[in-house]
Structure 1
Amino acid sequence: MVDCAAHILLIGGGHAHLAVLADWIRKGLPSARATLITPYRHLRYSGTVPGWIAGQYDRETGLVDLSSLAARGGVDLVLDHCVRIDPDARTIAGEQGRELSFDIASIDTGGVGQAAKLLGDDPRIIDIRPIDRFVDELGRHSAAKRIAVIGGGAGGTELAFGLRNAARFDRQPDIAFVTGAAGLLPDFSSAVRSKVQAELQQQGIEVIVGDASIKAGQIYFESASYEPVDLIVAALGSGAPDWPAQGGLACDESGFIAVDRFQRSISHPHVLAVGDVAVRQDRRIVHSGVHAVFAGPVLADNLRMMAAGLAPRRSYTPRWNNLYLMSTGRGEAIASYGPLAAQGRWVSRLKHWIDNRWLSQYAALAKPG
């Protein structure tokens, strides 16, 4: 049981925790005090980053004001990275040496970049995780003439299009889009892949099906060197941070926090985890921002129940399919919904409307009441 003096600690300012903050603003804080620990005052919505690269958005577009949302929700804000957790002692440690205690913890830090692990070390590599660091680092590479984008998922596809049309580079860079051995968009329909492939060809983006590696300061695609390359952008999916497993939370073989249908740790049920840092044990849910967004309200309800000393009762069930909208970097977008695909400027307008609607709801909540 959790009494009214309980302390809820939100670790990380991800998409699901945005929904938690919104819930507390609208309905009031649960019977508990709460703290959010995150290194950033703002969450950067990754969906607007390819558009920023292509000059369609300002750098500030896509920022959600976490500090104001926390203040509106009655939540203390600590600007720091979590680097250690002791789920038995119910404490965490920040990078700056501060220790925080909790009764209930919720982890939504997202995954970590894994470029060095999968490719090798090279000073030309910038990982898309964390996204804020990626945006900062990309701004220092405007002279790049030849860029390799590694990773054939939706994120890598949008970045390849965005970088080909980069508005803030000295010249339009040549792009080598390395999909990995699984090929282009392996989790999407053939209709979507066909439209994306045609658009890549039309824009002169070279597509290489195979794995990349770094050896002796050179980038190789399979066994062939592909130099010279000025910049390597890694969009290789989420890796797991080290500290959950090191702290004793049950994790899968890849280091992601193992959770039940209510997002509770299977080893420490007073710790919840959601998004790219977690993996459900009752069903397969791929790591995707769309799932973190939709799981957020469920997490908010479960935290409210647990703060009241009750068992959580809601479980996030993914839709049979989700709408994905990929910007081509030149005023159009490609839509994917199950087996269906569409392309055009109207799809780009739809993407802008959906993104803006999502961002606007948090901008409105962040304003003083």
Structure 2
Amino acid sequence: MATAGPDLVLIGGGHAHLGVLADWVRNGRPGGRTLLLSPHRHARYSGMIPGTAAGEYALDDGLIDLAALVRFAGAELVLDRCAAIDPDQRIITAKTGRQIPYDLCSIDTGGVGQARVILGDDPRILDVRPIGDFLVRLDQRIDGASGKGSHVVAVGGGAGGVELAFALHRRFESIDARVTLVAGEPGLLPGFSRLAQGLARRAMARKGIELIEEDARFEEGRFMVGDQSIEPVDLVVASLGGGAPAWPGASGIAVTEDGFIAVDRHQRSLSHPHIFAAGDVAQRQDITVPRSGVHAVHTGPVLASNLRRTIVGEVELQSYRPRPASLYLISTADGKAVASYGPFAAHGRWAGRLKRWIDNRWVASFANLERAV
């Protein structure tokens, strides 16, 4: 290493890294320096994005003061974006060209938008990713699709896409906009129980949200679903999951066939054990862990423990093992939510209240940490 650098560099302010910083605040930062490399002073909680889009929350309600959290954790914040890593020389190159030496590194940058790769290029596409500025970009695009009778399309049949379809319906209901959810050939809420799928279908039907379970694409300027055009379309909001950024594989870090950082059960890179990764940018190789905010949040404490133990020289590390089922709360943007847990599901106001309580409590937990310092 050319110059002395931080003992630990956290790349990205994702949900797992928020857990690491929270652990540093609660239990003290382990020896040496910690630096967070992130392009944003605030982190946005993804679970509150549909509710904010629907107008249930104010724009700032889902924000976590990343700069304050870093300060209270005894770390340093560098407002920049990672462009490359030399994993052998242990040097990070930021987008501005700054080089940051490190001893230990953890990556939690999230995935990248892939709507234009999947759907084709068109100016009407609004990709949910990058999540950090999606709501601002949505507000900027609303004016162009706010005429009476506008046709707004949500693309993506997962929980995020379903929540966005409900949120967009509420956002546009005052102008009688038509909202369509294009779930794709895997169908509505793939991987969820039939009961949860049925409850979501019925809620969409009651609101007049059209559901199409075929793949979509832009073809010669027309939005095609299956072999038919559903034009006119004014806005296409895509929630298609995160793709892998190019720089980890280009840097020589072991990645999967689709470009995600390949990690073991301790979240360590298979090729470079001094590099850890979590969240949407990583993929466990020992078991399948779905890429969702639920699992990223639960990975945070385990990642914090493993980084702490590695810094102090311990070899016994922990592993995050998902439960057989996770609780999902899918807002229908009317004060209600579909609660799904394994084969069980229900739809009601109690589930909506539970979702808001969990979301608000998680965001407030970071503010409470700051006040406790």
Equivalent residue for 2:155, pick from 127, 150, 154? 150
Selected match of 1:159 from 145, 150, 164 = 164
Residues 89-111 of structure 1: per-residue CA shift (max 9 Å, x gap):
11111112211111100000111
Tell me, what secondary structure is at the counterpart of 1:237? coil
**How far off is 1:171 after superposition?**
2.0
Deviation at 1:6, TM superposition (A): 5.8
Residue from 282, 304, 307 that aligns with 1:303: 307
Query: Are the counterparts in 1 of residues 260 and 282 from structure 2 also a CA contact under 8 Å?
Result: yes
- Please say if residues 125 and 234 of structure 1, whose CA atoms lie closer than 8 Å, have aligned partners that are also in contact: yes
In structure 1, C-alpha distance between the alignment counterparts of 2:5 and 2:101, rounded to whole Å = 13
In the alignment, the residues of structure 2 paired with residue 19 and residue 132 of structure 1 have an alpha-carbon distance, to the nearest angstrom, of: 18
Asked whether the equivalents of residues 37 and 77 of structure 1 are also in contact (C-alpha less than 8 Å), the reply is yes
- Superimposed CA distance per residue, residues 167-226 of structure 1 (whole angstroms, 9 cap, x where no aligned partner): 6x8724211100011100111000000100000100000101100011122111011111
1:281 and 2:293 matched = no
> Which runs of at least 4 in structure 1 moved beyond 3 Å after TM superposition?
none
Unaligned runs of 5+ in 2: none
Shift of 1:366: 2.5
1:328 alignment partner in structure 2: 332
Contact 2:37–2:77 (Cα < 8 Å) also in 1 = yes
The answer to whether structure 1 residue 217 and structure 2 residue 211 are counterparts is no
- Read off the aligned partner of 2:115 and give its amino acid letter: A
1:91-110 residue pairs with structure 2 within 5 A?
A: 91-110=91-110
Partner of 1:141, secondary structure, is helix
- Whether 2:145 is the aligned partner of 1:141: answer no
CA contact (8 A) 1:258 1:281 kept: yes
- Equivalent residue letter for 2:140: R
| TM, length-normalised to structure 2 | 0.95
Matched residue type, 1:90 = R
| Other structure's SS at 1:139 match | helix
Q: 1:241 pairs with 233, 238, 245, which one?
A: 245
**C-alpha separation between the residues in 2 aligned to 1:130 and 1:220?**
25
Does structure 1 residue 84 correspond to structure 2 residue 84? yes
- CA 1:170–1:192 in structure 2 vs 1: closer, same or farther (change >3 Å)? closer
Q: Percent of counterpart pairs with the same letter?
A: 52
Residue pair 2:154, 2:180 contacting (<8 A) in 1 also? yes
- Give the deviation of 1:141 after TM superposition: 2.3
- Is the partner of 1:13 in helix, strand or coil? coil
Deviation readout 1:127-177 (Å, 9 max, x if unpaired): 11111221111101224121111110000000000000006x872421110
| Aligned counterpart, 2:57 | 57
Partner SS, residue 218 of structure 2? strand
Does the 8 A contact of 1:161 with 1:327 survive in 2?
yes
**Is contact 2:105-2:275 (8 Å) kept?**
yes
Distance 2:142 2:240 in 1: 22
Alpha-carbon separation, structure 2, partners of 1:68 and 1:132: 17
Q: Per-residue displacement from partner, 1:311-369 (whole Å, max 9, x unpaired)?
A: 25100000111110011111111100111111111111111111111111111112372
Whole-angstrom CA distance in 1 between matches of 2:6 and 2:168: 47
Give the RMSD, CA atoms, in angstroms.
1.4
Rounded Cα–Cα distance in structure 2 between residues aligned with 1:238 and 1:142: 23
Q: Is the 8 A contact 2:154 2:237 kept in 1?
A: yes
Counterpart residue number, 2:20: 20
Aligned to 2:276: 272
Structure 1 residues 312 and 105, CA gap change in structure 2 (3 angstroms):
farther
- TM-score normalised to the size of structure 1? 0.96
Kindly indicate whether the alpha-carbon contact (under 8 Å) linking 2:25 and 2:72 is maintained by their aligned counterparts in 1: yes
Is the Cα contact below 8 Å between 1:165 and 1:172 reproduced in 2?
no
